[in-house]
Structure 1
Amino acid sequence: MSVITRDSAVTMHFAIKLEDGSVADSTYQMGKPAKLVIGDGSLSESFEACLLGLKAGDKNSVELKAIDAFGLPNPDNIHHMDRAKFVGEAQVEVGTIMAFNGPDGMEIPGIITEIAGDSVTVDFNHPLAGRDVTFDVEIVSID
């Protein structure tokens, strides 16, 4: 029976849980497992390290510190924008996640964290940055 190594194509179910036990992301809720190739960049090295050596049918649960999961918040990823740039956009309110065009033309999500007068603060850090998580995984198959 094959085990997961670098370059393995893996089909798996996973759940990412926060400190309070709430589920931040899960393939179980979608009813469809995720497919990825180890080393393709879809998962951080720390997440991938949790998978190496597992076989089809294996389940694993690993607690990851924020630095090993989605990283720590980077103050350089918080931007202040002129509210006029949002005219005609969907309502601008704290907590809204919007897509912005990044410098490379790719869309990147930002969360509006503060609105003060004409200034809108947008946080481009991953929503789980700075959070410790538990990574539950169930390997469906390995190709």
Structure 2
Amino acid sequence: MENMMSNENKKVKVHYTGTFNDGTKFDSSYDRGTPLEFVCGAGMMIKGFDEAVKDMAVGDVKDIHLMPEEAYGMPDPRNILTIELTQMPGSENLQVGQRIVLSSGDGQQFPVKVTDKTEKTITFDANHEMAGKELNFKIELVSVEG
């Protein structure tokens, strides 16, 4: 009889390797030697990853391919911000391609990448660096608690 138990809302540990379509590895728990622990279905992980782990059994290994919608979404033009250099002291020293963390008025921190700079303005992109990318994961379910 097939086990129809779901791992939803249980604490799971997985090992995984994440790659882009060209085979470039962007992340791997194997390299760190420690499995990733999270509560399945609690929104801690990207949607497609959560979905994949939901019905795995301990010891299973699964290869998944995620479209951007199931991963970090598509880049949002509203997350691109251009400001005058004079509005942000120190910004004249930043380089295109550099990643920094900005703080909003209420103290919220968000990572951005400098995408453009002129004599007068600087442009930041606050989209997730994986936005718009298709991701591949090899996932191995190590343990399930609860």
TM-score, length of structure 1 as denominator length: 0.88
**1:88-111 deviation digits (Å, cap 9, x = unpaired):** x79411111101113552211101
Q: How many residues align?
A: 142
Contact 1:14–1:135 (CA under 8 A) maintained in structure 2: yes
Distance 1:107 1:64, change over 3 A: same
| Aligned pair partner of 2:30 in 25, 28, 31 | 28
Q: Distance in 2 between matches of 1:133 and 1:91?
A: 34
**1:22-44 deviation digits (Å, cap 9, x = unpaired):** 01222122222111001222112
Contact 1:17–1:133 (CA under 8 A) maintained in structure 2: yes
**1:97-136 deviation digits (Å, cap 9, x = unpaired):** 1011135522111011111112111110110101111021
Question: Which residue of structure 2 lines up, in the alignment, with residue 132 of structure 1?
Answer: 134
Q: Percent identity?
A: 27
Moved more, 126-135 or 23-32: 23-32
Task: Structure 2: give runs of 5+ residues left out of the alignment.
Answer: none
Task: Structure 1: give runs of 5+ residues left out of the alignment.
Answer: none
TM-score, length of structure 2 as denominator length: 0.87
Contact 1:100–1:109 (CA under 8 A) maintained in structure 2: yes
Larger radius of gyration: 2
Q: Distance in 2 between matches of 1:95 and 1:4?
A: 42
Partner SS for 1:11: strand
Aligned-residue CA RMSD (Å): 2.1
Q: Distance in 1 between matches of 2:110 and 2:61?
A: 32
